Structure 1
């Protein structure tokens, strides 16, 4: 069994993206506990809603630096 943290890190980093995501989820659950299924579903629904609004053109993406610059301009007024 692997017990050295560096070995565990190296093994984890060599995983494919899907397995890394599964491992990350398991580790986070071990710290924070199981996610409430209703809350998880609410987030999934929100992500789908935002995805659809981007596809339809109702919403658009902006870079973080543009948003921060715009906020600074508005705060200076």
Structure 2
């Protein structure tokens, strides 16, 4: 017997990417409450600035394993 949860899950998994994101946002809001619009705007600005830094070459990405390796090396000096 298929449960309500399984039906909802199956339906959700068949949504397109945009609708999955919208659904995930709604579910998170139902758990954590609405995000303060000023905070959300500040984070969006930060994301755009970081994205611009990456595209311009001013910043670069590093894997977590690289970062942890370097941190361990610095600690052990």
The two structures have a TM-score, normalised by structure 1, of 0.91
Alignment gaps of 5+ in structure 2: none
User: 1:1-77 to 2 correspondence within 5 Å?
Assistant: 4-77=4-77
Instruction: Provide the alpha-carbon RMSD of the alignment.
Output: 1.0
Q: CA deviation at 1:50?
A: 0.3
Q: Report how many residues are paired.
A: 75
Deviates more, 1:65-74 or 1:17-26: 65-74
- Separation in 2, partners of 1:10, 1:76: 50
The two structures have a TM-score, normalised by structure 2, of 0.91
Alignment gaps of 5+ in structure 1: none
Name segments (4+ residues, structure 1) moved above 2 Å. Answer: none
Q: CA deviation at 1:36?
A: 0.5
